[in-house]
Amino acid sequence: MQSSHTLNQDDALEQISQNVDFLTQQLHRGRRIGRFPRLLEHEYLRARNRRFLEIDRRIIAGGLLFYLAFCWSDILLGGASAQLLVSLRVGFAAVLFALLWWVPRSFLAPYMMVVAAVGVFAAGASVLFFITLIPAEMRFAYHLGMVPIQVFTMVALRLSMRAMLTVSLGLFALYVLLLLLQPLQTGQAEMDQILMVFVPLFVSFWLMLIGLGAYLAYAVESGARNDYVQNRLLTLEAVRLKVLTRQLHELSTTDSLTGIANRRYFEQQLDIEWRRAIRQQQPLALVMIDADRFKDYNDCYGHQQGDICLQSIAGVIAAHCQRPADLCARFGGEEFVLLLPGSSTADAARLAEKIRLDLAALQLPHERSEAGFCTLSAGVAAMIPAVGEHSDELLRRADRRLYQAKDKGRNCVVSA
């Protein structure tokens, strides 16, 4: 007989195995940063965003401070627009700081990577906008300002490859647009000659940086996805181990035929309760129960039917085992025990009598028994144990009374 609890555990193990197979497949698929199947992708993005929020809020704050530090260049190079540039820079940084610190984390978490990508894009776009405001001969310096922004996008933020490429190519496109709309010429021949060399070099340098960034983002993202799956597998293995340990514990303490505790577990509990009874000087009661004429039952109805009968008897006994400390167990063969901490002999005898009557009420046919149906005999004993006494004494007393019950003609409870 398998308990529903065991079935649930088997279901849980089956579910774990399916999940392990599914995740292992993800590890072995060809494309390393392709999206996971829908649900897993959703969970991955949630976990990634949570980590991103924890780690990268400080990095973004550092980036913003770095961005703010360039107020000095606005003042030095901005000419008539210096004040405007500083105000725009400080205002922009303040808005992002406020967003990072005052918007609740729980609200920001799902969008953190998008916020970071939009933030860095806006920072880059602001620098490009500043270029349009400063004197022509100083502009090239601000072109160089795009380098730290690109590096920050690539390295510090650890954006997904898609986000990194979107931000980088977006800024690059804006830069090209700016070059088309606002030629670099300063009107100074020597300066313009240098810029003619500088700009193509800068453009190709930037494109190379984006290529390198894409490769880095690919490596980081595929590693992160791999780690995520490996971590999920480790968690599943830990859960599997827990379920198996619990199952092993149940197997070693449960009687496989009846589903109630086995003798080994009973003996452990008897030892524990015996010592507790000594400490607390409380009574400990034991009922030994034996099916009557069970050899005849087997001979008459077959061993299989005998097993079913033993399950019914165990069911009746278990139904009366209601207090948390009460324990019923199969002692062996057709013999059962009931351990009742805190119960007196009279209490335990009353309970044993109820069990006897309940089994009789089932009227399980047994043509070779005196009653014509299945019955049981029980011996009851209770003790307030003293230091130095052994729990075997309680077992002996209950067993002796069980024999007395058999001698009295069976189908009865003896408690004195």
Active site residues: 334
- Which residue number is nearest to ligand GTP in terms of Cβ? 306
Q: Which string of x and - marks every residue 394-413 that binds ligand GTP (by CB under 6 A)?
A: ------------x---x---
Min CB(319)–ligand GTP separation in Å: 20
Identify which of 179, 163, 176 has the alpha carbon closest to the alpha carbon of residue 213. 163
Which residue number, 233 or 395, has a Cβ lying nearer to ligand GTP? Answer: 395
Q: Which of residues 67-106 bind ligand GTP (CB under 6 A)?
A: none
Options 298, 311, 312, 344; binder of ligand GTP; rule CB under 6 A: 298
Cβ-based nearer residue to ligand GTP, 56 or 290: 290
Which residues have CB under 8 Å from 153's CB, separation 6+?
120, 124, 159, 164, 167, 168, 171, 213
Output DSSP code: residue 372. Answer: S
Judged by CB under 6 A, the residue of 281, 303, 322, 324 near ligand GTP is: 303
In the complex, what is the shortest distance from the CB of residue 274 to ligand GTP, in angstroms, rounded to a whole number? 27
User: What residue spans of 182-280 are helical by DSSP H?
Assistant: 189-253, 263-280
Per CB under 6 A, 370 contacts ligand GTP = no
Q: How far apart are alpha carbons 133 and 83 in whole angstroms? A: 11
Q: Whole-angstrom distance between the N-terminal and C-terminal Cα of the chain?
A: 36
Stretch of residues binding ligand GTP (CB under 6 A), selected from 111-119, 200-208, 267-275, 301-309: 301-309
**Residue 306 within binding range of ligand GTP, rule CB under 6 A:** yes
State how far the alpha carbon of 283 is from the alpha carbons of 37, 273, 275, 300, 342, in Å: 62, 10, 11, 41, 5
Residues 276 to 295 in contact with ligand GTP, rule: CB under 6 A: 290-295
Rounded to a whole number of angstroms, the minimum distance from the CB of residue 344 to ligand GTP is 27
Rounded to a whole number of angstroms, the minimum distance from the CB of residue 375 to ligand GTP is 9
Residue 409 has what DSSP assignment?
Answer: T
Task: Give bridge partners of residue 17 from the DSSP assignment.
Answer: none
| Interface with ligand GTP, residue 310, by CB under 6 A | yes
Angle of helix 112-133 versus helix 82-102 axis, rounded to 10: 170
Distance (Å, whole) CA 308 – CA 297: 11
Residue with smaller CB distance to ligand GTP, 277 or 310 = 310
Cα–Cα dist 217/32, whole Å: 12
Task: Tell me how far apart the alpha carbons of residues 46 and 374 are, in angstroms, rounded to a whole number.
Answer: 62
Site of interaction with ligand GTP (CB under 6 A): 257, 290-296, 298, 303, 306-307, 310, 333-334, 406, 410
